[in-house]
Amino acid sequence: MSKGIVYLVGAGPGDPKLITVRGLETIRQADCIVYDRLASPRLLAHAKPDAELIYCGKLPDRHTLTQEEINQVLVEKALQGKTVTRLKGGDPCIFGRVGEEAEELVKHGIPFEIVPGITSGIAAPAYAGIPVTHRDFNSSFAIVTGHERPDKTASSVNWEKLACAVETIIFYMGVGNLPFIREQLIKHGRSPQTPVALIRWGTTVEQQTVVGTLADIVEKREQAGLTNPAIIIVGEVVKLREKLQWFEKKPLFGKRVLVTRARSQASDLSERIAELGGEAYEYPLIKLAPPQELDRLDDALRKLSQFDWVIFTSVNGVNHFFRRMRELCIDIRTLTGRLAAVGPKTAEALEEKGLTVHVLPADFRAEGLLDSLKGKLVPGESVLLPRADIAREILPKELRAHGLQVTEVDTYQTVVDAGNTEETAALLKDGAIHIVTFTSSSTVKNFVQSMAGHDLHELLAGVKIACIGPITAQTARDLGLPVHIVAADSHIQGLLDAIIRHEGEENQNAAV
């Protein structure tokens, strides 16, 4: 059997988007991923479905696997002919022990590649508004370990020369030794008034920053309860934080938001949450699939030119409708009736196909669409209503009441898709989820169903529930869930606007 290859990869400082393009490639092609606790678990979502995942996280006081055991795992998997990605937080060459792992691979003749990553000592200060260099303050900086090997009999840090040799000093893993670090710097000539910043979990929603001076930083750290993993940055550049901090000012900073949309739709909402400073945790509760019976849909598509109106109530309905048209090789020009769309996104999906939308309501739900259609519909006209298998009945019922001939067809069906229920429940229980979003009544129902084995009252204690509109909100209330946020406009941007407004009001009230 030929030997595999090992990629020694820097995952970046925490924000999964800060991994390099090459690093992401190695995750996607790996047969086995050996990862530590500082590598974002969201990166593992890019792994192949059958990839073997091995956790080897380390804490200062305990290890899941020793370094020697990690070395052995890398060798064994590579000798089995596998492509192995060793995923480390930050940059593997900066206190990442990549040299030891690479030496072991060389010993066994195993090919390897080192993929650099963005190191936390530069990224975390940047996210806290502190550039590690600035020509008004410094022309050099040093990166120093704050946690040396426990078996060392003497420190290898030359404190006498380090204290004043460079303007900015960045310590890794040094929070536990902060009193000693402060003592050594002041003892060897650093002013007690030198600014200091501690940054915990930099670049993530858990980012916590404490600023002080060498004289008072130990006491401020104790008051804040700040612990590892954290970066210590010492120097005048820390003063720039007051002017340059940006990440912590984003409207959803510090918030982890549960996204319950179908996996195929979740990315749009997740991207917007990230842009606003939050972190999206995806828990898709519905999966879209072709309808069980295609005969009615196929028959309607073959008679498309006979309909006076075609009314679309969702982007999904549009996508599945035209996908089936392509599969049946039906010419889009047979769609001669006037078109109505329930909202701007649905209308946009139609317009992208070169079609004109004749009716678009101001209120993006069935009731608003009915109001907009008044005066435009003529009794006796034929209406095609392509939609989901679980759509509300108000629209076809009211259309028939106005004397229209309505043909309802299922363009897709929704099925429950809740694969990571236990992990989601654990995050809710631990208070790691701050906001739960529901974008349809079906996501609410499936959420309650998926959590049937858990105490929902306990899981949702302290969690805000945000609904895309009044219909979804009413479904949540009917199922016993508290609703804190309801979008005024029933679309994704409306939901985000409502969440931002709610969080802003809460922050104002907390500041009073």
User: Closest by alpha carbon to 118, among 141, 139, 88, 147?
Assistant: 88
User: Residue 15 and residue 204: Cα distance in Å, rounded?
Assistant: 6
CB 117, CB 90: distance < 8 Å? yes
Q: What is the CA radius of gyration of the chain?
A: 28
- Residue 470 phi/psi, 5-degree rounding, is -65, -35
Determine the longest span between alpha carbons in the chain, in angstroms. Answer: 93
Active site residue 173: yes
CB 384, CB 307: distance < 8 Å? yes
DSSP-assigned beta bridge partners for residue 212 = 196
Q: What is the DSSP track for 9-53?
A: EE-BSS-GGGS-HHHHHHHHH-SEEEE-TTS-GGGGGGS-TT-EE
Active site residue 331: no
CB 40, CB 57: distance < 8 Å? no
User: Residue 152 and residue 163: Cα distance in Å, rounded?
Assistant: 21
Q: Catalytic: which of 15, 31, 36, 410?
A: 36
Q: Catalytic: which of 3, 58, 250, 287?
A: 58
Give me 283's structure tokens.
């828990």
User: Residue 157 and residue 180: Cα distance in Å, rounded?
Assistant: 12
Q: Catalytic: which of 173, 255, 410, 464?
A: 173
Active site residue 36: yes
DSSP state for residue 306 in the 8-state scheme: G
Q: Which residues are catalytic?
A: 36, 58, 173
